[in-house]
Amino acid sequence: MATPLGDYLRLARAGFVMAREGVASRIDPGVRPPGSEPLFALAGLIERRGPASSAARLGAALSRLGPSYVKLGQFLATRPDVVGPQLARDLELLQDRMPPFPQEVAEATIARTFDRPVSAVYARLDLPLAAASIAQVHQGEVIEADGTARRVAVKVLRPDVQRRFRIDLSSFYRAARLGESSSPEGKRLRLVAVVDTLARSVTMEMDLRLEAAAMSELAQNTAEDPDFRVPAVDWDRTGREVLTTEWVDGIKLNNLEALRAAGHDLPQLGRIVMQSFLRHALRDGFFHADMHPGNLFIDPDGKLVAVDCGIMGRLGHKERRFLAEILFGFITRDWLRTAQVHFEAGYVPPHHSVEDFAQAIRAIGEPIYSRRADQISMAKLLTLLFEVTALFDMQTRPELLLLQKTMVVVEGVARNLDPQLDMWKTAEPVVRAWIERNLGPAGRIEEVATGIGAVGRSLQTLPELIAHGQRIAAQLDAATRDGLTLSPQTTDAIGRAEGRGNRWMTLALWAIAGLILVQMLF
């Protein structure tokens, strides 16, 4: 069970491990909290010297601290404003790899989940192929009713992982609250909200039924997409701790030689990756937020297949409009419109000048037009944009940060397939189509129709509202005709309280009396 003392002891141990591996020295001095200089000086004294790269030592430290810290590290890779750009780059290289847990433990989890022996669930269950902080994956085989064999991927939750995350999250919250209370910058960065987002993400990852539902929703959204799909879920063999899906026979997207040997057009694959991500984010508002090469395959039909839907992102209509107009504003060099979008979305406080903000955005956007297409990074541009917004008191938007983090990964995958890929030309058709559909005449008509529908639904309930109002008026008239009366018990209690001179008790009892009246009326 988490306690304040336990939280501080765990944070002290984590700090020691990080300092020992040289992580503290990688944190940009500009983002260190005020007054922390002695702690960082002490960390420098206990740092272990060695030839290993900073990214490797960071990975070793987080792996030693456990799965919660691996997830935290991956999450903080999206927050250079919190940890500094240098450490954020190291965190981007962090791989979610952990030692596998024993086969017998996995089989016990499967038997407990389905309340029957593993042999009754799968005809074959191989040793784990990959193990991460949350779960590990096995290849299995099931026998259909007609006797045919079908290969499946079986994901099994890591034992005791939920208890470990609960304990470690308590420590993370403790550190975040301390950071917000001791530093105005910590409050602006909304450190507690950062941990909230991490907690929600991890909680959903630890219920594999939710991942199955995410795969099902993504499959439904992309059913008409000619170049993208996700594996089908085997719902009969899926539970909270076990997820079974179809096995994907495909080539991983980072195996360039195998892709070329199979005759695939690598630049075209790069465009598919980028446009698929933007289409899901803008069109559907629901996107795969962990699109690293290990989760992406090309199947024999040439379709991009995404697996591992444990981390998904959602964008509301306002966020999608914001993203589309930001990207379109940079594509068309309309800096004023790009600035106005921030104010219209309520992301920048209104006391700032739109023109000044447009000037700051121009300082980011104009330099990209003097560079070649392969030198322009949309992900880097969004990172710079969020850095500039800090000057204008724009608070952290967790959903946009997850989008930015995913775009960094997706852009890296696309550029690996085609180093000359023009991100802006690739994005432009998807962005323009969304703007024309949602902000053009068709979108305006749809908004009007939605508004009319809402008014119509309100009118349907109008007779009930009128009748309810008449009943309230009649009850109020009856209640006050001979004066407002309270029950003898209530008046006696008020009298006793007044007799004792207990002011707070009197106020509380009068409040109770008020609630009794409200209940009587409604």
Give per-residue pLDDT as tens, 235-278.
999 999 999 999 999 999 989 999 999 999 999 999 999 999 99
Question: In this structure, are residues 348 and 392 in contact, taking their beta carbons and an 8 Å threshold?
Answer: yes
Q: What whole-number distance in Å separates Cα of residue 93 and Cα of residue 293?
A: 12
Residues 6+ apart with CB under 8 A from 215: 230, 231, 233, 245, 309
The whole-number pLDDT of residue 520 equals 45
* 4 vs 137 pLDDT, higher one: 137
Nearest-CA neighbor of 125 among 99, 102, 146? 102
CA distance 107 to 54: 38
CA torsion, ordered 115, 120, 125, 128, to nearest 10 deg: 0
Decide if pLDDT at 162 tops 90. Answer: no
**pLDDT of 4-41, one tens digit each?**
888 888 888 888 888 887 777 777 676 666 667 787 78
Average pLDDT (189-215) is 86
Instruction: Give the model's confidence band at 121: pLDDT under 50 very low, under 70 low, under 90 confident, else very high.
Output: very high
Among 431, 423, 427, 411, residue whose Cα is nearest residue 275? 427
- Predicted pLDDT of residue 521: 45
Q: What is the pLDDT of residue 74?
A: 74
Whether residue 393 is predicted with pLDDT greater than 60 in this model: the reply is yes
| pLDDT greater than 90 at residue 157 | yes
78 band by pLDDT with thresholds 50, 70 and 90? low
9-23, 33-47, 293-307, 506-520, range with the lowest pLDDT: 506-520
Q: How confident is the model at residue 485 (pLDDT cuts 50, 70, 90)?
A: low
> 430: Cβ–Cβ under 8 A, 6 or more apart, which residues?
275, 278, 279, 282
| pLDDT at position 281 | 93
How many Cα atoms within 13 Å fall on the side-chain side of residue 180? 14
> What separation, in Å, do the N-terminal and C-terminal C-alpha atoms of the chain show?
43
Average pLDDT over residues 98-117: 94
Q: Map residue 34 onto helix, strand or coil.
A: coil
**Burial class of residue 405 (count of CB atoms within 10 Å of its CB; 0-12, 13-18, 19+):** buried
Contact between 110 and 240 (Cβ < 8 Å)? no
What is the reported pLDDT for 409? 82
More confident: 122 or 462: 122
C-alpha to C-alpha distance for 398 and 318, rounded to whole angstroms? 14
**Are 280 and 222 spatial neighbours (Cβ–Cβ below 8 Å)?**
yes
d(CA 515, CA 268): 67
| pLDDT at residue 430 is higher than 80 | yes
Q: Is 183 helix (H, G, I), strand (E, B) or coil?
A: coil
Residues contacting 178, CB < 8 A, separation 6+: none
Q: Residue 436: pLDDT above 80?
A: yes
Distances (CA, A) of 222 to 134, 266, 307, 354, 411: 27, 22, 14, 38, 20
Query: CA-to-CA distance for 325 and 322, rounded, in angstroms?
Result: 5
How confident is residue 465, by pLDDT bands cut at 50, 70 and 90? low
pLDDT at 407 over 90: no
- Mean pLDDT over residues 138-163, rounded? 93
Compute the mean pLDDT over every residue in the chain, rounded to the nearest whole number.
Answer: 80
How many of the other CB atoms lie within 10 Å of CB of 340? 17
Between the alpha carbon of residue 324 and those of residues 39, 100, 125, 320, 414, the distances in Å are 44, 42, 45, 6, 20
Neighbours of 425 (CB within 10 A): 11
**Strands of the sheet with 296-298, listed across from one edge:** 228-229, 304-306, 296-298, 251-252
Confidence of residue 152 (pLDDT cuts 50, 70, 90): very high
Q: Identify which of 46-55, 183-192, 429-438 has the greatest average pLDDT.
A: 429-438
484, pLDDT greater than 60: no
Write out pLDDT tens, residues 345-383.
Answer: 787 888 889 999 889 888 877 876 666 656 666 666 666
* Residue 517 binned pLDDT confidence (cut-offs 50, 70, 90): very low
Question: Max Cα separation, the chain?
Answer: 93
Per-residue tokens: 3: 């306690």
Task: Answer for the pair 230, 222: CB distance below 8 angstroms, yes or no.
Answer: yes
The residues annotated with a catalytic role in the active site are 290
| Best CA proximity match to 325, nearest among 408, 224, 443, 232 | 443
Q: Where are the beta strands (DSSP E) in 189-317?
A: 228-229, 242-246, 251-252, 286-288, 296-298, 304-306, 312-314
* Extended strands (E) in 34-166: 124-131, 135-143, 149-157
- Is the pTM above the cut of 0.85? no
User: How many CB atoms sit inside 10 A of residue 332's CB?
Assistant: 12
